[in-house]
């Protein structure tokens, strides 16, 4: 799975699961594929990939200008945990 597709899928799945049912993605197959992929990564690969995602979607200058921030990172990490991804 390429990084752009993965990041867009994570964004949509997270959005749907946290209440954005109009703009989010409800697709159990994609969700399974995303979480299977995340679980298949090495510890370092997982750390790097998720750090890049968090930086791009929640704490970049552009993301902060859109209203995202550290509280969104915390919610995202809870969502990962709720879906079986332990940090």
DSSP string, 17-77: HTT-TTTS---HHHHHHHHHHHHHS-HHHHHHHHHHHHIIIIISHHHHHTT--HHHHHHHH
| Stated pTM of the model | 0.92
pLDDT in tens, 18-29: 999 888 999 999
Distance CA 59, CA 40 (A): 26
CB neighbours of residue 62 within 10 Å: 10
What is the per-residue pLDDT across 59-84, written as a single tens digit (0 to 9) for each?
Answer: 999 999 999 999 999 999 999 999 99
How many other β-carbons are positioned within 10 Å of the β-carbon of residue 13? 21
């Amino acid at each position: 799975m390429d990084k752009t597709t993965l990041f867009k899928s994570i964004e949509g799945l997270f959005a749907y699961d946290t209440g954005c049912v109009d703009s989010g993605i409800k697709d159990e197959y994609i969700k399974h594929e995303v979480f299977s992929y995340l679980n298949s990564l090495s510890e370092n690969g997982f750390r790097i990939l998720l750090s890049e995602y968090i930086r791009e979607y929640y704490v970049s200058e552009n993301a902060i200008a859109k209203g995202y921030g550290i509280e969104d990172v915390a919610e995202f990490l809870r969502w990962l945990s709720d879906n079986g991804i332990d940090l």
